[in-house]
């Protein structure tokens, strides 16, 4: 490793992960524009159509433990290559959709497994091995790549659908996205990460020379964590609840926002640009929240993000009664900031509480929480609309969920276990 203040290869890893996540998660967030095209052609109800996204969320998240195991046995490169191929096959198959169960199988399962094998878990695990004190900044940067994917690919997907149709659009994505991921994997992800976890001695303590100045609760951090032990703690379940609610809120909006605006007589293209604006805002916000959390703490940063989320829901409720273009732009800014904190902070808070050799499997379990939350959020918003003819009850529920998520994070108390660098002065990397 290079000395403090000098450039090291970890920042190259950050760049490649940024690009990879932008492409990979464009498949998830372009769902909203394909969703409108598919329900228009096949006449599905919104809950039936959104069910494919729910299945996608379940399979992409529940694949986490399997992905972690495959990375350990096959290596990161092989897992990324295999995941890229699976993703490409799923996209090609989506171009042949004829009925709802095709959509569930091709998008909800096959593409989901490809995304799980190439996406968040391998990239975040890699970053956590390359960085410590600047971990929040690094995670914020790579997660902002998802915002670039939203900004560029959601409107691009809408234009592709308008020009070539949704079937050909899936084929074009099947070639471009996996090819870029494969090229990145083969050319740039060769150097092994330098950071090795510090292990406790036989009596459960750390050698004095290896004690981390960031640690507040030495007894907690000296434990040799694995998934079973972590799941036996209250903090694990509080984090899981907060992560579940964060994605419940975010994906209930991401899946249905285009349909919501189209219902209010905005064009699908304009609605797709609003989604793109969400992506742009989330791009900068993920870097902001990640870096800020290294200075003021994870709890305060998470609370600020949840305030933005609640404000965005309030703006959508106002728009439902008083449609205004100004409200749509204000919503996009607030929601982009609120969503960003649900993406940037979970891997950091997981590391604060459960850093060590089992980090990947523990974070993989939290990904299951987020995936189930995303699945239920996407489906439930569609169910609420089919039942009531309005998304407003779902927006109100999201505001309540934001409050509960805040309380859960404060009770989990990552800052009571490991202080952030800003709390003890500037620490370089």
**Residue the block writes with tokens 């399979």:** 59
Residues 126-180 have pLDDT tens digits of: 787 777 667 778 888 887 787 777 777 778 888 888 888 889 989 999 988 889 8
Mean pLDDT for all residues in the chain? 83
Query: Helices 135-164 and 10-24 sit at what angle, rounded to 10 degrees?
Result: 30
Tell me the pTM.
0.73
SS3 content of the chain, % helix, strand, coil (to 5): 80, 0, 20
- The domains found in the chain, sorted by start residue, are 10-423 (1.20.1250.20)
Q: For 297-332, give the DSSP string.
A: -HHHHHHHHHHHHHHHHHHHHHHHHS--HHHHHHHH
E strands, 227-361, are none
φ, ψ of residue 119 to 5 degrees: the values are -100, -120
Residues 302-318 have pLDDT tens digits of: 999 999 999 999 999 99
Residues 28-76 have pLDDT tens digits of: 878 878 888 888 888 888 778 888 887 887 888 788 778 877 876 787 7
The model's confidence at residue 411, banded by pLDDT at 50, 70 and 90, is very high
> What Å distances lie between residue 31 and 206, 257, 340, 372, CA to CA?
47, 11, 18, 17
Could you give the 3-state DSSP secondary structure of residue 399? helix
DSSP 3: P
């Amino acid at each position: 490793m290079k000395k403090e203040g000098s450039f090291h290869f970890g920042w190259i890893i950050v760049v490649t992960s940024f690009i990879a996540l932008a492409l990979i998660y464009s498949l998830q967030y372009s769902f909203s524009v394909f969703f409108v095209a598919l329900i228009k052609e096949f006449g599905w109800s919104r809950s039936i159509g959104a069910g494919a996204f729910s299945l996608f969320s379940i399979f992409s998240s529940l694949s986490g433990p399997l992905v972690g195991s495959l990375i350990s046995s096959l290596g990161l490169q092989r897992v990324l290559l295999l995941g890229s191929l699976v993703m490409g096959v799923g996209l090609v198959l989506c171009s042949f959709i004829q009925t709802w169960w095709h959509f569930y199988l091709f998008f909800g399962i096959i593409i989901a497994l490809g995304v799980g094998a190439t996406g968040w878990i391998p990239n975040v695990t890699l970053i956590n091995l390359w960085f410590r004190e600047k971990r929040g900044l690094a995670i914020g940067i790579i997660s902002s790549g998802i915002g670039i994917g939203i900004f560029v690919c959601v409107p691009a997907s809408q234009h592709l659908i308008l020009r070539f149709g949704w079937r050909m659009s899936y084929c074009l994505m099947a070639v471009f996205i996996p090819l870029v991921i494969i090229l990145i994997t083969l050319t740039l992800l060769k150097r092994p990460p330098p950071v090795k976890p510090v292990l406790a001695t036989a009596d459960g303590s750390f050698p004095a020379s290896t004690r981390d100045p960031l640690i507040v609760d030495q007894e907690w951090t000296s434990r040799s964590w694995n998934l079973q032990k972590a799941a036996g703690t209250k903090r694990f379940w509080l984090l899981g609840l907060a992560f579940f609610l964060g994605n419940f809120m975010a994906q209930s909006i991401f899946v249905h926002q285009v349909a919501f605006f189209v219902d209010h007589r905005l064009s699908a293209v304009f609605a797709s640009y609003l989604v793109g604006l969400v992506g742009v805002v989330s791009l900068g916000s993920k870097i902001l929240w990640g870096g800020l959390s290294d200075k003021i703490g994870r709890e305060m940063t998470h609370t600020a993000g949840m305030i933005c989320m609640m404000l965005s829901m309030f703006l959508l409720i106002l728009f439902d009664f008083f449609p205004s273009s100004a409200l749509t732009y204000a919503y996009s800014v607030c929601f982009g900031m609120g969503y960003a904190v649900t993406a940037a902070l979970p891997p950091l808070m997981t590391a604060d509480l459960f850093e060590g050799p089992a980090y990947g499997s523990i974070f993989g379990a939290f990904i299951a929480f987020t995936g189930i939350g995303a699945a239920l959020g996407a489906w439930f918003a569609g169910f609420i609309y089919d039942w009531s003819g309005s998304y407003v009850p779902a927006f109100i529920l999201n505001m309540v969920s934001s409050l509960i998520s805040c309380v859960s994070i404060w009770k989990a108390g990552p800052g009571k276990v490991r202080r952030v660098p800003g709390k003890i002065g500037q620490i370089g990397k």
